[in-house]
Amino acid sequence: MIERYTLPEMGAIWTDEARMQAWLDVEIAAVKAWNKLGRIPDDAVAEIEAKAAFDVARVNEIEATTNHDVIAFLTNVAEYVGDASKYVHYGMTSSDMLDTALALQIKRAGLLLERDLVALGEVLQRRAFEFRDAVEVGRTHGIHAEPITFGMKLGIWAFEVSRHLKRMRMVTINAGVGKMSGAVGAYNNIDPRVEDLVCEELGLGREPISNQVVQRDRHAAFLACIAIVGSSIEKFATEVRHLQRTEVREAEEAFGKGQKGSSAMPHKRNPILSERMAGCARVLRGNAMVGMENVALWHERDISHSSAERIVLPDSTILLDYMLQKFTKLVDNLVVDEERMLANLNQSYRLVFSGSVLLALVDKGMLREDAYRVVQDSAMHAWREGVDFGMLIKQNDEAMAVMSPEELDAAMDPDQYRAGRDVIFARLEKLEF
């Protein structure tokens, strides 16, 4: 991932130094496991733990000759350890180390993403309650529908983030598994107890039956979850982009002191961060497809997955971490114009109450088809002529034959929806991250 979208804590998980340190952690855990089983002497374990180290530049230098990164790494470790290095990688195949170490990185990255999701969810929940009574028009197909509140919109997003948090925890657990089962997964040259001991020490799950690799459906699910989270961020950001349009102007990204919106037009205040979220989400979805392509390997394994994983796993976790933190800040600082929301609501001449008027007429005994005709005729007249819908209903003889003006006013009172909102926010209040 390019530096522009890499935040320090997540980026540190995927450096060459961190990757090789995870390799070394796995190798030392395996040495200690063999020692517990009586196959490696105590003095060798002590020597390995005291001396084992690596140098990334030296590993790369050796790999230029071996054309095998694991052998290059083990050769470099042996240069530090000396004679006891004969016990390093004992009974193991490369993927025992690689996949178990990768699980460590995935687990660490997943925990950071979980933290990010919690932060976003809490901000959404807090701001939802801040705007629980900020009435705005609900839109379907981009057209005025019925009144909602801006807090309801943010509450929907909060619940969506809570679902993502549950998914992220599950896929991180499922991808955070190791294996120490040898070249084809049959434990031909390694004791199954080593696998149990290594995974326990490293805090990982264990692949119950492996071939040479941890099965890649686990990684595909992890990447798919990341892509789905990214799609939700794009969904939220798309709404912000719409609300910031000049013709709408109900909410907008905060505009910092000294910020510039356009090189040519000094007046511009653009939803640049929301648009960036949309672009980044496309990358995550593409990377998820790579994860799915990596599931099908030849026989007990090939390495067609390896090159692609080196790109998409770091890139996806780094990019989603960036997106979550940036969008959390966006929501936290989002500028909301409640007066503009009411002004937009009133642009449609109170047509947003057509549904409640329809039901009020039905409750008074009018057939639904007749009530629908009466309401629709008045609504179309209001829209064409730019006059108040309620006034036209009061002028309709069929409607007024069954309903009083006071009853009509009650059917067009925004407070009639408060009971429903109370139920919604009671649910949101129980939401925990």
Q: What is the DSSP string of 128-146?
A: HHHTTT-EEEEEETTEEEE
Cα 91 off chain centre by = 39
CATH for 351-411 (3.20.20.70, 1.10.40.30, 3.30.450.20, 1.10.3720.10): 1.10.40.30
pLDDT digits (tens, 9 = 90+) for 132-184: 999 999 999 999 999 999 999 999 999 999 999 999 999 999 999 999 999 99
- Nearest of 312, 286, 277, 308 to residue 106 by alpha carbon: 312
Burial class (CB in 10 A: 0-12, 13-18, 19+), 361: buried
Report helix, strand or coil for 135: strand
For residue 365, give both structure tokens: 């005994």
* Residues identified as active-site: 141, 262
| Amino acid, res. 28 | I
Asked if residues 46 and 68 have their Cβ atoms less than 8 Å apart, the reply is no
Report helix, strand or coil for 149: strand
Asked if residues 203 and 22 have their Cβ atoms less than 8 Å apart, the reply is no
- Residue ranges covered by each domain of the chain: 95-342, 351-411
pLDDT digits (tens, 9 = 90+) for 365-383: 999 999 999 999 999 999 9
Which residue stretches of 67-93 are H helix?
A: 69-81
pLDDT of residue 264: 66
57 vs 144: CA distance, rounded Å: 62
Angle in degrees, CA 285, 291, 294, rounded to 5: 150
117 vs 126: CA distance, rounded Å: 14
Contacts of 2 (CB under 8 A, 6+ apart): none
Positions in the chain whose pLDDT score sits under 50: none
420 vs 274: CA distance, rounded Å: 31
Return the CATH architecture of domain 95-342.
Up-down Bundle (1.20)
429 vs 433: CA distance, rounded Å: 11
- Nearest of 69, 17, 26 to residue 48 by alpha carbon: 26
- Nearest of 200, 208, 201, 121 to residue 158 by alpha carbon: 121
Strands of 277-414 (E only): list them: 335-336
